[in-house]
Amino acid sequence: MKKKALILGIESSCDETAASILEENNEGVPNLLSNIVSSQEEIHKKFGGVVPELAARSHINKIDLIVDKALKKSGKKLSDIDAIAVTGGPGLIVCLSVGLNFAKTLAMTLKKPLIVVNHLEGHALSPKLVTDLKFPYLLLLISGGHSQYLAVKNLGKYKRLGTTIDDALGEAFDKTAKLIGIKFPGGPLLEKFAEKGDPEKFQLPKPIINKGGCNLSFAGLKTAVLKISKKIKTDQDKHDLAASFQKTIEEILYKKTKVAFNEFRKLYKNKNNTFVVAGGVAANKKVRKVLIELSLKENFDPIFPPLDLCGDNAAMIAMVGLEKLKIKKYDSFDHPAKPRWPLDSEAIFLKGAGVKL
């Protein structure tokens, strides 16, 4: 009988220390045995944002404990592991280095393959943990640091169709939440806060909504929120601003996703149209609802990772590791941490914005 493949995944790109054990069963289906995520929310709360040096120190203090916890929950031993997959970028380099160096040391000691994973590819493949996802498919990746539409051709093969020309959507959520007064981390809490507000109260801009293809822009929207936040006085005004922001985001994503659908159809005619939405903002229930409705209307099959796999986690890193183990695509022990690492190898810098398209 063929030995079941067993992967240890490690993630430390920002402020979550995570480890996961993933096993492929005899039918070739991934089986998630453990997925441990340790948040640093309490450490960074008083600063209103992630402090890289404190985040790295926390990773150093707990990474071995988190890996040990993942192993114990899975019922496996280190000696059972077939390969170690670890996030190599993009992210905060001081944080990435902790996980990467830990994984390298472990792989050297155990004499096991090292697989360095692009964090964004982890998000891109995360639905494979729970569904039989087939290539090619359209991906909308919306997180704290990235917002982009990509055609996912195959493992490691991506074509970027559109990206943010300034700020990421997750950052816009976090900034808006902070201006309104929602406690850190505010982005994920804004949707709930908006439920008590009037989404029609404030008319907010939708930058490049009718131009730029499926590229996105959120800087102007953030500026408008900043100006309004200085004038509002009541708690109800805050709820109204949150609701107006939420509604504006839904409208932007609806329009831009429709453009992305058309671009994807041009590339892949007569193919099954699958639309994957991944990243932290994919956990926003109203965003999910709007994009599901649009997908069904446009004959796309919408797929979202489970809510607990939308944010940063090691299960998605292990998933990519499993796929690469199958084709024996390993990495050397001198592989560097990459704070910038686009999925599309042919991406270019957008002039004047410093953003890779």
Each residue of 219-235: pLDDT tens digit? 999 999 999 999 998 99
Distances (CA, A) of 320 to 85, 108, 174, 264, 266: 8, 20, 28, 23, 28
* 105 shares its domain with 146: no
Joined tokens for residue 60: 């150093």
Q: Is residue 31 part of a domain?
A: yes
Residues facing residue 32 across a β-bridge: 22
pLDDT at 161: 97
Instruction: Give mean pLDDT, residues 97-110.
Output: 98
Helix pair 169-180, 219-229: axis angle to 10 deg: 0
Q: Is residue 164 part of a domain?
A: yes
Phi-psi category of residue 347: left, alpha or beta, with phi > 0 → left and psi -120 to 50 → alpha: beta
Evaluate whether 33 touches 4 at the Cβ level (below 8 Å): no
Domain count, the chain: 2
How many Å apart are CA 62 and CA 314, to the nearest integer?
15
Q: Is 163 helix (H, G, I), strand (E, B) or coil?
A: strand
Q: Tell whether the torsion through CA atoms of 108, 112, 118 and 122 is positive or negative.
A: negative
Instruction: Give mean pLDDT, residues 202-227.
Output: 97
Evaluate whether 247 touches 197 at the Cβ level (below 8 Å): no
Going by C-beta distance under 8 Å and a sequence separation of 6 or more, which residues neighbour residue 262? none
How many Å apart are CA 10 and CA 66, to the nearest integer?
9
- pLDDT by residue (tens digit) across 132-157? 999 999 999 999 889 999 999 999 99
Q: Is residue 352 part of a domain?
A: no
Evaluate whether 319 touches 30 at the Cβ level (below 8 Å): yes
* 191 shares its domain with 340: no
Q: Is 196 helix (H, G, I), strand (E, B) or coil?
A: coil
* 161 shares its domain with 298: yes
The DSSP secondary-structure symbol of 143 reads: S
* 270 shares its domain with 299: yes
* pLDDT bracket for residue 348 (50, 70, 90): low
- pLDDT by residue (tens digit) across 147-205? 999 999 999 999 999 999 999 999 999 999 999 999 888 888 999 999 999 999 999 99
Evaluate whether 204 touches 224 at the Cβ level (below 8 Å): yes
* 297 shares its domain with 156: yes
* 297 shares its domain with 155: yes
pLDDT at 4: 87
Count CB-CB contacts under 10 A for residue 31. Answer: 14
* Domain span at 337: 6-128+309-344
Beta strand pairing call for 137-142 and 274-278: parallel
Joined tokens for residue 114: 């090292």
Q: Is the pTM of this model over 0.85?
A: yes
Return mean pLDDT, the chain: 94
Joined tokens for residue 222: 């953030």
* 141 shares its domain with 257: yes
